[in-house]
Amino acid sequence: MDDLTSRDEEKARAQELEIEKRRKEEQDRQRERDLAQEKGRKQGMEEERTRGKRRGGLGTGIRIVISLIVLAIIVGVVAYLTMSVSVTNISQGSSLPFTTNYSVSFPEGQPITIGNTHVTVLSYQDELISDIDGDRQKLVVGEDRVISERRAVITTLGAITLVDTNFQINLTYKGDRDNRAYFDMGVHTSRQVPDILLNKMLPPEIDARPI
């Protein structure tokens, strides 16, 4: 009887030990899972911070580029709006190797200013009376009129010189229509002048179109 009781007690202790062993193993596995989850969470947070820094750096770079572009546009607009032309007479001419050709039309009877030159045209029968700074001449189709050589200085922002050139204008009369006199106009300059700057010397009233 005692032997039977002893065997039952041993079996019970063995079962308790097995249960305790399994419980510890389960606790160990749970700790490992918790550690793995914590490690994964930290790694994910670190990766997110890294991506955020990259996005932040890229965003900052884009903002800087956009700011520079906007600044360049603003400076360009201000420079264009403050562009001015000063035209003066000269006592001695120079070589004028560069030519830009336009098709232009002058409104009849309306004084037009090109640089410091005042031009008025008026058709009469088959002729055109052209007045340049008080010097009147009659023109028929195909005849030329010259605006003598001048010096033009184009500046911007009040002080920056963009162009300093001598120029002369040749006008070839092409006829009149609808109260406008049409000419082929050649602008001869002592140095190459970009069209955008050359156009600053030409008043909008003559509707100059490059040809």
User: Which of 169, 181, 175 lies closest to 206, judged by CA?
Assistant: 181
Cβ atoms 130, 169 nearer than 8 A: no
What pTM, to 2 d.p., does this model score? 0.64
pLDDT digits (tens, 9 = 90+) for 70-81: 888 888 888 777
Predicted pLDDT at 91: 75
pLDDT digits (tens, 9 = 90+) for 108-123: 999 999 989 999 999 9
Q: What count of other Cβ atoms lies within 10 Å of the Cβ of residue 165?
A: 20
Give the pair of three-digit tokens for residue 38.
Answer: 């914590």
